Amino acid sequence: MSKNEKVAVPGEMSHREILLVLVGLMAGMFLSALDQSVVGTAMRTIADDLHGLELQAWVTTAYLITSTISTPIYGKLGDIFGRRRLFIIAIAIFVAGSALSSLSSSMLELAGWRAVQGIGAGGLFSLAITVLSDIVPPRERARYQGYTLAVFATSSVLGPVVGGLFADAGMILGIAGWKWIFLINVPIGALALFLVWKFLHVPHTPVKHRIDWLGAITIIMAVVPILLVAENGRTWGWTSTESISCYVIGVVGIVAFILAERIAKHEAILPLSLFKSKVFTSVTILGVIVGIGMFGGMMTIPLVLQIVKGVSPTESGFLMLPMVLGMMTASIVSGTITGKTGKYKIFMITGTGMLLLGYISMFSFQYNTPIWVMSISMIIIGAGLGQLMQTLTLAAQNAVSPQDIGVATSSSMFFRQMGGTLGVAVFISILFNRLPDAIKSATKVPEVQNGMTDAAKEYIAGAMSGKYKADNPNVVFLKDAAANPAALGDKLNGDSSFLTHLDPRLARPFLMGFADSAVTVFITAAAVVAIAFAMSFFIKAQPLRTKSAAAEAAASSAH
C-alpha cells in the first residue's frame, strides 16, 4: 500500500473530491479510447507505408489479445495492491508501448509494440470503473458513470477525425504523419499520469493474497486461441486446420483455467465463488449476450455509411453523433433516476428493449435510405446502450462483497468484451458471406440490369473510339467483370475504393447488395438482443448499498 492510499478516517468523499478523482480516471480512459478509434481509421495508411497490408489484422489482434487477457488480471492485482498504483503502471505501460509503436519499421514490429500497448490498456478501463465503485455508493454511482461515458462519446467523434488528419498529413516535423498517432499519446499520457498522481488518492484496504500464476497462464491458453480464430476465422476458413486447432486448444485452456481457479479458491484471478451469486451470474450472462448483439451490429453501421453512402472515415465519425447523443442522454437520465429511486432493473428491460427497437427500425434500410432516417435509428440504439452499459456494471458490483469489487468489475468487463469480440467476428462473417449472393440478386433487378447494360455499351464504345483510355476505372471494371463474372460478388470483400470512381449505374448493384447484407446483420443482431430482452425480466435486482466499497471494506477490516 502506498502512502497516498492511506486516509485517516475511511469514509465517503465529497462531490468535489470525487470530481477531482474523476479527472484523473477520465484522462487515463481517454488515452486508451482515443487510441483505438484513431489507429483503426489510419490502419490502411500505416499498412501501406510499412508494406504489410496482409498483416494489418495481426496489429489489431495483438492489441485485442493482450488488453482482453490483462483486464481480469488487473482487477485482481488492484484488489491486492491498490488501484492507484496499478492505474499508474497501466498508463506508463501504455505510453511506453505508444512511443515504441511510432518507431516500428515493419508491421510485425508494430504488432509487437501494440501488444505492449494492450497490456496497459487492459487496466485503464477496468481500474477506472473499479475506483469509481471504491469512492461512490452504488445508489449514487450511476450518475457519475455518465462522465465516463462522455469519454467514449468524445473519443468516438475525435478518433476518426484525428486519425484521418494524421494519416493524410504526409510528414510533420520530418516524421511520417501516421507515427504521430502514437506519439500524441506521450504528452496525453504524461498529463494523465500527473492528474492521477495529483488527484487520485483512493483509500485502500490491503488484501493478503498470493498471485494466481497458474490462473494467469491458463487464461492465456483459453483466451488467445478464441480471439485468434475470432479475428482470423473468416480468412482461414471456420473449418480450416488452423481454426480447428484453435477450437481444441481453447476448450482445453478453458477446462484447465476452471480447474486452476478451483484450486486457487478465493485467491483466484476469477474466483468461481462469484458465480454463487445468481444476480452476478445472470448479469454476466446478460452482458455477454448484449456484447454479442451490440458490438456485432454497431460495427456494421460505419461500414454502411462509408461504403453505401460513400462518406470518409472522418465523416462517418461525425455521422455517428446521433448514437452518441442518445447514449449520453439515456445515461444521464437513467443515472439520475437510479440515484433518486434506487431502482435499476427497469433500465435493463428498457435498455435491451430500445436496443432491439433500434435494430428493428433498420430492417427497412435500403441503399437510398436518407442518412437522417438512419440517424433516428442510431439515436434509439444509443439510448439503449446508455441505459445498459452502466446498469450492468452497477448490478454486477452490487452483487458481490466490497473485497471482490475489483475482480467482479474486471470480470464483468472481460466477459462483455469477449462477447463483443465474438459478435464482431460472427456478424462481419455473416455480412460478407451474404454479400456475393446479394450483389448477384441486385444485378437481376430489371432497372439495374438495364442501367448496367447502357453503361457498359457507353464505355465499351468510348474505349473503342478513344474517348476513354484503357486505364479508365469504368473500362477496367468492365474488363475484369467480363473476364471473371463469378468474382463480381466478391469484389467488395477486399477493397471498396473502386466504387468511388465507378459510374453510378455500375456501382448500384454493389450498394444495393451491401445494404441488403447489412439488413441481414441487423436482423441477426435483433434476434440476439431479443434473447437479452426476455432474460432481463427474470433478473432479481438487489437493493443498492448506501456505502462505497472503500468505506465498507474499511469497516469490515476494523471488525
Listed residue (286, 295, 276) closest to 537, CA to CA: 286
| Residue 7 pLDDT class (50, 70, 90 cuts) | very low
When pLDDT is averaged across residues 472-487 and rounded to a whole number, the result is: 70
Listed residue (544, 150, 149, 541) closest to 339, CA to CA: 544
| Residue 335 pLDDT class (50, 70, 90 cuts) | confident
Report d(CA 225, CA 531) in Å as an integer: 27
When pLDDT is averaged across residues 389-410 and rounded to a whole number, the result is: 81
More confident residue, 209 or 127: 127
Lowest mean pLDDT among 365-379, 412-426, 539-553: 539-553
> Angle 138-168/107-135 helices, nearest 10 degrees?
160
Task: Give whichever of 66-75, 91-100, 468-477 has the largest mean pLDDT.
Answer: 91-100
Residue 537 DSSP class: T
Task: State the cell numbers at 217.
Answer: 497462464
pLDDT at residue 492, as a whole number:
63
Return the domain boundaries, the chain. 1-210, 213-268, 437-518
Lowest mean pLDDT among 99-108, 288-297, 483-492: 483-492
pLDDT digits (tens, 9 = 90+) for 236-271: 888 888 889 999 999 999 999 999 988 888 778 888
pLDDT digits (tens, 9 = 90+) for 361-383: 999 988 888 999 999 999 999 89
Please report, for residues 52, 391, 418, the alpha-carbon distance to residue 358 in angstroms, rounded to integers and kept in the order given: 38, 19, 23
- Count of CB atoms within 10 A of residue 520's CB? 18
**203 contacts: CB under 8 Å, gap ≥ 6:** 5, 6, 7, 10, 134, 135, 550, 554
| Residue for grid cell 441486385 | 442
**506 contacts: CB under 8 Å, gap ≥ 6:** 452, 455, 456, 474, 477, 478
pLDDT of 524 > 80? The answer is yes
β-bridge mates for residue 172, sequence order: 175
| Residue 2 pLDDT class (50, 70, 90 cuts) | very low
Considering the entire predicted model, what is its pTM? 0.81
pLDDT of 512 > 70? The answer is yes
Instruction: Please give the span between the terminal C-alpha atoms of the chain, in angstroms, as a whole number.
Output: 20
pLDDT at residue 551, as a whole number:
60
Report d(CA 346, CA 337) in Å as an integer: 10
Options 3.90.226.10, 3.10.450.50, 1.20.1250.20, 1.10.1270.20; CATH of 1-210: 1.20.1250.20
DSSP 6-34: --SS--PPPHHHHHHHHHHHHHHHHHHHH
Report d(CA 306, CA 308) in Å as an integer: 6
Report d(CA 233, CA 428) in Å as an integer: 11
